[in-house]
Structure 1
Amino acid sequence: MSVEEGMPAPAFDLPASGGRTVSLAAMRGKPFVLYFYPKADTSGCTREACDFQEALPALGGIGIDVVGISPDPIKPIEKFAEKYELTFPLASDAEKTVAGAYGTWVEKSMYGRKYMGMDRATFLVDAEGRVARIWRKVKVPGHAQDVLKAAQAL
């Protein structure tokens, strides 16, 4: 079953950059952006993370936190966060359980070869823990600004 707008956000509790832990329980009571990205320190993921970092003051100004999730182990995530001075938490979903719950761990195909991989997707979760907005198959350019606009409308 895939997550849809209006549904309660699936629970998560993951290790994150900066020695932090991120969980749905800890986020309850305030809206947040949860975005899934395929791999730390690749061109599209770097651009997306840097765009969210740039949008952070505006998002923070309206009380919205950002959390990024990838299937990478925590070590490469830490390096990625330090390299680009990313201050928001980047979480490791090495078991892909959270990605599975959000429907972002999917079968992909390249040159006719099928494999499992992370779908680039973003979820805007409201203060009650419900999914207010979903972006699937995200195209990075302009995406953080689209999310900011939707967040301002919450």
Structure 2
Amino acid sequence: MAKSPAIGQPAPDFTLPGVVLADGAAQRGEFSLAAQRGRPLVLAFYPGDETAVCTKQLCSYSSGLDRFTALDATVWGISPQTVESHENFARHHGLGMPLLADTGLEVASAYGITVGKVLRRAVFLLDGDGVLRWKHVAMLGLTFQSLDTIAEQLRRLEVG
């Protein structure tokens, strides 16, 4: 397992396939960290679609997307399931953020959040230059960082 990137360091770059629902239509494509420069990005790594804690987490973030947008931030959910699984999950729960498929756990490994073939729940906050400004990696993954906590970290980034 690679070491998790340090605060103040550039985040590992990646491109992953993903899907986002827009007005009920699924839009599939490639999502590249390098192409996201210019505004803050929240990377929410989660273990699995349609699991209890992950569903609560992603529904919470999706229902609060306007708070992220007000802070000029984008949110991406990343897990090891396929794009098809992500599309079904997004449709079932009305999720509004892109869900990216890290099926081989290469990105999760680059961020140092795998234990064997298991992904640890984690949130990484990147600034507009792709520099890591805040992170939380769960030990057990039975809880998740709240929308309020992430929004507060985004406000601090805005002020700093």
Aligned-partner Cα distance in 1 for 2:29–2:84? 13
Runs of 4+ in 1 over 6 A off after TM superposition: none
Where structure 2 has 5 or more consecutive residues not aligned to the other structure, the ranges are 20-26
- TM-score with structure 2 setting the length: 0.86
Q: Are 2:52 and 1:43 equivalent residues in the alignment? A: yes
Q: 1:36 to 1:57 in 2, by over 3 A?
A: same
Which ranges in structure 1 are unaligned for 5 or more consecutive residues?
108-115
Counterpart in the other structure of 2:98: 89
Hey, what's the Cα distance between the residues in 2 that align with 1:142 and 1:70?
16
Q: For 2:35 and 2:60, how far apart are their aligned partners in 1? A: 25
Task: Describe the superposition over 1:17-66 as per-residue Cα deviations: whole angstroms up to 9, x where unpaired.
Answer: 13132111111111110010000011100000011112210110111000
Task: Give the distance between the partners of 1:73 and 1:144, measured in 2 at CA.
Answer: 25
Please say if residues 55 and 145 of structure 1, whose CA atoms lie closer than 8 Å, have aligned partners that are also in contact: no
- Aligned-pair CA distance for 1:140: 3.3
Distance 1:59 1:74 in 2: 24
Matched pairs, number: 146
Residue 23 of structure 2 is matched in structure 1 by: none
1:8 paired residue among 10, 15, 39: 10
Name the aligned partner's letter for residue 41 of structure 2. Answer: F
Matched residue of 1:15: which SS? strand
The residue type paired with residue 15 of structure 1 is P
Displacement after TM superposition at 1:143 (Å): 1.8
> For residue 153 of structure 2, what is the aligned residue in structure 1?
150
RMSD (CA atoms) = 1.3
Q: Report % sequence identity.
A: 34
Between the aligned partners of 1:9 and 1:139, the Cα distance in structure 2 is 25
Choose 17-26 or 119-128, whichever is displaced more.
17-26
How far did 1:95 drift? 1.4
